[in-house]
Amino acid sequence: MTDTATVSHSFQAEVSELLHLMVHSVYSETDIFLRELISNASDACDKLRYEAIAKPELIGEGEAPQIRVIPSKAASTLTIADSGIGMDRQELIDHLGTIARSGTKAFVQRLSEAKDGSGLIGQFGVGFYSAFMVADRIVVISRRAGGDEVWTWTSSGGAGFEVAPASEEDAKRVTRGTEIVLHLKDDAKKYLETYEIERIVTAYSDNIQFPIMLVPEEGEPRQINSASALWQRSKSELTPEDYTKAYKSIAHAFDEPAMTLHYRAEGRYSYAVLLFAPSTKPFDLFEPARKGKVKLYVRRVFITDDADLLPAYLRFVRGVIDSEDLPLNISREMLQNNPQLAQIRKAVTTRVISELEQLAEKDAANFDKIWDSFGAVIKEGLYEDFERRDKLLALARFTTTSGEKRSLKQYVEGLKENQTEIYFLVGDSIERLKSNPRLEAAKARGVEVLLLTDPVDAFWTSARLEFDGKPLKSLSQGDINFDPIPLSEEQKAEDEAKPAADEADTIALIKASLGDHVTDVKVSTRLTTSASCLVAGSHGPDRELERILSQQARGARSKPILEINLRHPLVVAIAKAAADKAKVDDLSFLLLEQAQILDGELPEDPAAFAARLNRLVLQGVAAA
């Protein structure tokens, strides 16, 4: 057998099994084949560029390395050609005949001492076979740079391949590098459309560093990639305008970024990071899946935007993480369990939080834009991320009864004499919270209260947090004791002027009337002007959290505790009417039902409430 003859070879792995795996497991979209072949072409160009440092004659007067994509509807072929290093006969057999064998891997090993091969792309072999998803026959024509021989590798998948000298016409055309000719299946003819090719290149290979030229059947060849991975460039080379353009391109956004984070991590793992925090809220921020949109690249090649590179509470962040160490053909399952990616996630999340901290300190206006748009999302981390909870709590900004948006550090700086807790109230609107009777005792002492209205607030506040040694305390749950905090002299005089009902007798009367409609009746330290309010016990969910959970599950709620103000005329009236059970019942239920209404709820029996209210009004009119 001579080198001029066609030689058939068996694959050195189970090709049919691998192709099944390729289609059903490794790659979820057939578009990936073009990414893989372009990546391999880029790899070949990179190898040529490196070897030409020692042997400039490899490039000589020829064209600079580039990649060409050539569709032919007449022949039903799609050609991906490069003017890279090329392959000789044995390399064609070795690289394309053994599944998962990698020319790049061997090349990087050769350069390991010099640490100069980290920019190479791909594992030539596995990615190449993804082309059989769209082609029923593949022809590879290649000439090694500096060589005279041109060889053709042909396969239809199945059990093997053939290697033969190239025809005179092919040898004349391929002066250096490799052409991969895909004979497309009938259901893959869409890849002959120039707009489909441009779409895939823009999505997956826009930042390949060599020009990708589209050679249409009609018209002039044109470059269809930007050929510049901006995140791989030094910060000193870039301007704010460069970053803004990159943000709008990467995130498909129209606003300006409120924060830009660009750095390169070196060490155990090497990767480049370019992330942006938008200044406006995207429409899909609260989709149930809570998926992030940070794109994963491996050596400038797009892999996926579904790798969960940041926790769900940072899903508003957009950008790119480009790893030098991950395999190019990493599968979805490997993404979930890859230890390198887990370390990258952890490190980048910590860096994003740190960047937000610096922004809050140095550029409050831009941080406020981020918080106003995404604060409700970031607060999900208070419930989910125990490790970073303290940092997130320090970052948080809250509307308070002072009318300002403040951090907990600012809140603590304004604590009143003897105040040892940070008070908050959860509800569905600022206006309703401001008129909530549970605020009255705090207002009377000038105590500031956090007003929390995002749905997530009911969840993270259940975690029993503290800040600067001060526990966060809900005004609608458990016992509250404001007594150590001095009242204003005006409020003290007003309270002393009001007669108070007897505590034991009044509570006994109300309990007898309400029965199991409440779990308990207590004297309130929260109220100064209102007659009553409802609170939850110290154990179990807060009132607002229980309301949300009951709406979602359509389940019954636990009975609340009714707190009463012994100095309110309505409560005093109950004590005075002790002998009139019907009146005591009406007034006691009125205390309960008005508290329910103030909480944004309906009375348990609206018809009975209306009848009761009419009776009491008519009694008052008759007495007048």
The answer for residues whose C-beta is within 8 angstroms of residue 337's C-beta and 6 or more apart is none
Give Cα 237 to chain centroid, integer Å. 29
Q: What angle do CA 239, 244, 246 make, to 5 degrees?
A: 95
In a domain, 104, yes or no: yes
Do 187 and 310 have their domain in common?
no
Q: At which residue do the structure tokens 């769209």 appear?
A: 134
Last residue of a domain, one of 192, 223, 254: 223
CA dist 171 and 114 (Å) reads 35
In a domain, 460, yes or no: no
CA dist 113 and 120 (Å) reads 15
pTM, two decimal places: 0.75
Return the minimum-mean-pLDDT range out of 6-10, 133-137, 173-177, 344-348: 6-10
Segment holding 508, helix H or strand E: helix 503-514
Do 23 and 102 have their domain in common?
yes
Q: What's the pLDDT at 289?
A: 78
Which residues partner with 165 through β-bridges?
151
Do 248 and 319 have their domain in common?
yes
Cβ neighbours, 10 Å, residue 20: 11
CA dist 574 and 505 (Å) reads 10
Q: Which of 124, 119, 117 is nearest to 178 (CA)?
A: 124
Do 237 and 140 have their domain in common?
no
CA dist 600 and 432 (Å) reads 8
Select the more confidently predicted residue: 242 or 550.
Answer: 242
Q: What is residue 486's three-state secondary structure? A: coil
Longest dimension (CA), the chain: 122
Residue 102 scores a pLDDT above 70: no
Note the pLDDT tens digit of each residue in 464-505. 899 999 999 999 988 888 889 988 777 777 777 778 889 999
In a domain, 474, yes or no: no
Do 213 and 115 have their domain in common?
yes
Task: Tell me how far CA of residue 568 lies from CA of 494, 523, 584, 586, 592, in angstroms.
Answer: 12, 11, 15, 16, 14
Domain carrying residue 566? 489-537+559-623
276-283 average pLDDT score = 88
Do 172 and 77 have their domain in common?
yes
Select the more confidently predicted residue: 284 or 408.
Answer: 408
Note the pLDDT tens digit of each residue in 363-383. 999 999 999 999 999 999 999
CA dist 181 and 36 (Å) reads 14
Do 298 and 207 have their domain in common?
no
In a domain, 573, yes or no: yes
pLDDT band at 124 (very low <50, low <70, confident <90, very high): very low
Q: What are phi and psi of 474, to 5 degrees?
A: -80, 135
CA dist 139 and 154 (Å) reads 5
Residue 115 scores a pLDDT above 60: no
The strand pair at 520-523 and 470-474 is best described as unpaired
In a domain, 387, yes or no: no
In a domain, 570, yes or no: yes
Give Cα 500 to chain centroid, integer Å. 55
Do 190 and 239 have their domain in common?
no
CA dist 31 and 21 (Å) reads 16
Question: How many domains does one find in the chain?
Answer: 3
In a domain, 424, yes or no: no
Q: What's the pLDDT at 546?
A: 76
Do 205 and 236 have their domain in common?
no
Q: Which of 161, 204, 159 is nearest to 30 (CA)?
A: 204
Q: What is the DSSP string of 243-259?
A: HHHHHHHHHT--S-EEE
Segment holding 51, helix H or strand E: helix 32-54
Note the pLDDT tens digit of each residue in 286-300. 777 788 889 998 888
Do 55 and 204 have their domain in common?
yes
Which residues partner with 137 through β-bridges?
183
Q: What's the pLDDT at 157?
A: 75
Last residue of a domain, one of 194, 223, 252: 223
CA dist 618 and 624 (Å) reads 10
Last residue of a domain, one of 314, 348, 371: 371
CATH code at 203?
3.30.565.10
In a domain, 243, yes or no: yes
Task: Tell me how far CA of residue 12 lies from CA of 25, 142, 418, in angstroms.
Answer: 21, 21, 79
Do 137 and 248 have their domain in common?
no
Q: 133, 30 in Cβ contact below 8 A?
A: yes
CATH code at 601?
1.20.120.790
In the chain the first and final C-alpha atoms are separated, in Å, by 122
In what side-by-side order are the strands of the sheet with 422-426? 449-452, 422-426, 470-474, 466-467
CA dist 141 and 86 (Å) reads 9
Note the pLDDT tens digit of each residue in 258-279. 999 999 999 889 999 999 999 9
CA dist 261 and 346 (Å) reads 16
Do 275 and 137 have their domain in common?
no
Segment holding 179, helix H or strand E: strand 177-184
Q: What's the pLDDT at 490?
A: 77
CATH code at 341?
3.30.230.80
